[in-house]
Chains A and B, each alone.
Chain A
Amino acid sequence: MPSVTRQPFRTAVLVLVWGWLLFLVLAPNLLVVGASVMTRDPGTFIALPLNLDAYRQLFDPLYLEVFLHSLYMAAMTTLVCLLVGYPFAWALSKLGKQRQLLLIFLLIVPFWTNSLVRTYALKMLLATNGLINSALMSLGWIDEPIQMLYTEGAVIIGLVYLLLPFMILPLYSVFDDLRQELLMASHDLGAGRLATFIHVIVPLTLPGVLAGVMLVLLPAMGLFFVPDILGGSRNLLVGNVIKNQFLDARNWPFGAAASIVLTITMAILMLAHRLSKQRLGEGGAG
Chain B
Amino acid sequence: MKKTLLSLSNLSKQFDGKNVLDSLNLDIYDGEFITLLGPSGCGKTTLLRLMAGFEHPDAGTITLAGQDLTGTPPEHRPLNTVFQHYALFPHMSVFDNVAYGLKMEKRPKEEIRERVDEALAMVQLQDFKGRKPHQLSGGQQQRVAIARAVVKRPRLLLLDEPLSALDYKLRRTMQGELKRLQRELGITFVFVTHDQEEALSMSDRVVVLKDGEVQQLGTPREVYERPANLFTARFVGETNFFPGEVESIHDSAITVDVFGLKRTLRRPDFPVRPGQPLHVLLRPEDIRVLDPADAQGVAGKIIERNYKGSTLDSVIQLEDGSEVLASEFFDEDDPAFDYRLGEPVKVSWVDGWEWLLPEEADESVHEDALTDA
Which chain A residues lie closer than 8 Å to B87 at the CB level?
Answer: 179, 181-182, 184-185
Answer whether residue B2 sits at the interface, using C-beta atoms and an 8 A cutoff.
no
Binary contact readout A177-218 vs B (1 if CB under 8 angstroms, 0 otherwise): 001011011111111100100011001100000000000000
- Please tell me if the beta carbons of A184 and B54 are within 8 angstroms of each other in the complex: yes
Interface size for A (C-beta < 8 A) is 25
Which 4 A-B pairs have CB atoms at the shortest separation, nearest pair first? A281-B134, A189-B101, A190-B104, A185-B87
Bound CA span A179–B87, Å: 8
- Please tell me if the beta carbons of A195 and B104 are within 8 angstroms of each other in the complex: yes
Q: How far is the CB of B316 from chain A (nearest CB, A)?
A: 47
Q: How far is the CB of B352 from chain A (nearest CB, A)?
A: 48
- Please tell me if the beta carbons of B90 and A186 are within 8 angstroms of each other in the complex: no
Which range holds the interface residue count of chain B? 20 to 34
Which chain A residues lie closer than 8 Å to B73 at the CB level?
Answer: 187, 192
- Please tell me if the beta carbons of B104 and A191 are within 8 angstroms of each other in the complex: yes
Which of the residues B80, B84, B89, B135 comes within 8 Å of A188, measured between beta carbons?
B80
B104 nearest CB neighbor, chain A only: A190
CB interface residues, B 42-87, toward A, < 8 Å: 52-54, 73-76, 80-81, 83-85, 87
Q: Which of B52, B73, B74, B135 gathers most chain A CB within 10 Å?
A: B74
Q: How far is the CB of B22 from chain A (nearest CB, A)?
A: 24
Given contacts A189-B100, A199-B100, 19 further A-B contacts (CB under 8 A): A181-B85, A181-B87, A182-B87, A184-B81, A185-B88, A185-B89, A187-B75, A188-B74, A189-B75, A189-B80, A189-B152, A192-B73, A199-B89, A204-B89, A204-B90, A281-B90, A281-B135, A282-B134, A283-B134
- Please tell me if the beta carbons of A184 and B152 are within 8 angstroms of each other in the complex: no
- Please tell me if the beta carbons of B90 and A192 are within 8 angstroms of each other in the complex: no
Which B residues fall within an 8 A CB radius of A? 52-54, 73-76, 80-81, 83-85, 87-91, 100-101, 104-105, 132-135, 148-149, 152
- Please tell me if the beta carbons of A190 and B75 are within 8 angstroms of each other in the complex: yes
A202 nearest CB neighbor, chain B only: B91
Q: How far is the CB of B130 from chain A (nearest CB, A)?
A: 13
Bound CA span A185–B87, Å: 6
Which of the residues B83, B101, B133 comes within 8 Å of A181, measured between beta carbons?
B83
Bound CA span A168–B95, Å: 34
B100 nearest CB neighbor, chain A only: A189
B91 nearest CB neighbor, chain A only: A203
Which chain B residues lie closer than 8 Å to A280 at the CB level?
Answer: 90-91
Bound CA span A185–B81, Å: 7
The 30 listed contacts between A and B (C-beta, < 8 Å) are A179-B87, A181-B83, A181-B84, A181-B85, A181-B87, A182-B87, A184-B87, A185-B81, A185-B83, A185-B89, A186-B89, A188-B54, A188-B74, A188-B80, A188-B81, A188-B149, A189-B75, A189-B101, A189-B148, A190-B75, A190-B76, A191-B75, A191-B100, A191-B104, A192-B75, A199-B89, A204-B91, A281-B135, A282-B134, A286-B134
Q: How far is the CB of B91 from chain A (nearest CB, A)?
A: 5
- Please tell me if the beta carbons of B134 and A190 are within 8 angstroms of each other in the complex: no
